[in-house]
């Protein structure tokens, strides 16, 4: 039953050759947006970027835009996924990407947020947090790209 529903969604998505590319454009623009905003916080944690502002201020400034970008990413992504569920589920890069994405989002809204909010955290903690954050998001992008090459 579920499979039937999914395949009817897929048919709707595949009925026009424009739906997938347009969803992709939204996906690409929004991921650049949200990861760029997160990177701005990471740059600040690493000691460059907006130096006059505290990390907590950069976080507060960018957080709503990060969330907006992520929302668009998380709406357009499932559209792409639903167009060919079986292919994606059997694609090792896709599976990797999903784990990396879950880890990246979890990290972003727990440790990353906490370290960025606390203006008294040590430089070492900041650097490790920023590097982990950047690496997590980079692996999400790599995972996404390699779906097409797996």
Partner 1 sequence: MLLSFAQWVQFTTLFTALRGSANIYPVVLSLHMIGIAFFGGMILMTDLRLLGWALRKRSIAEVINQFRVPKRWGLLLTATCGILMAGSKAEEYYYNVFFRTKLILFAVVIITELVFYRSVYANPAVLDRTPSAPANAKLAAVISMLLWISIACCGRGIGYIEPPLDKIHAQIEVIHDAALRASRGSYSLKGQDHQDVASAN
The answer to whether 130 and 39 have CB atoms below 8 angstroms apart is: no
32, with CB counted inside 10 A (0-12, 13-18, 19+), is: middle
- CB crowding 58-91: b at 16 or more within 10 Å, else e: bbeebbeebeebbebbeebbebbbbbeeeebeeb
For residue 128, the minimal CB distance to partner 1 (Å) is 19
Return all residues near 1 (Cβ < 8 A) that are at least 6 apart: none
For residue 5, the minimal CB distance to partner 1 (Å) is 28
Among 8, 11, 25, 131, interactor with partner 1 by CB under 8 A: 25
- Smaller CB separation from partner 1, 64 or 78: 64
Count residues contacting partner 1 (CB under 8 A)?
A: 35
Query: What tokens were used for 7?
Result: 């395949």
138 binds partner 1 per the rule CB under 8 A: yes
10 binds partner 1 per the rule CB under 8 A: no
Applying the rule CB under 8 A, the residues between 76 and 135 that interact with partner 1 are: none
Mask for 27-66, x = binds partner 1 (CB under 8 A): -xx-xxxxxxx-xx--x----xxxxxx---x---xx-xx-
- Smaller CB separation from partner 1, 25 or 71: 25
The answer to whether 130 and 45 have CB atoms below 8 angstroms apart is: yes
- By CB under 8 A, name the binding residues for partner 1: 21, 24-25, 28-29, 31-37, 39-40, 43, 48-53, 57, 61-62, 64-65, 137-138, 141-142, 144-146, 148-149
């Amino acid at each position: 039953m579920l499979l039937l529903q999914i395949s009817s969604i897929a048919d709707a998505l595949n009925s026009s050759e424009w739906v997938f590319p347009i969803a992709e454009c939204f996906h690409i623009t929004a991921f650049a947006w949200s990861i760029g905003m997160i990177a701005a916080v990471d740059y600040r944690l690493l000691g460059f970027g907006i130096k006059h502002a505290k990390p907590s201020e950069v976080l507060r400034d960018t957080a709503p835009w990060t969330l907006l970008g992520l929302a668009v990413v998380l709406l357009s992504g499932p559209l792409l996924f639903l167009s060919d569920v079986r292919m994606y589920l059997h694609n090792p890069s896709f599976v990797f990407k999903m784990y990396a994405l879950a880890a990246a989002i979890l990290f972003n809204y727990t440790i990353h947020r906490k370290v960025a909010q606390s203006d008294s955290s040590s430089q070492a903690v900041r650097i490790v947090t920023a590097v982990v954050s950047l690496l997590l998001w980079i692996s999400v992008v790599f995972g996404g790209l390699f779906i097409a090459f797996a």
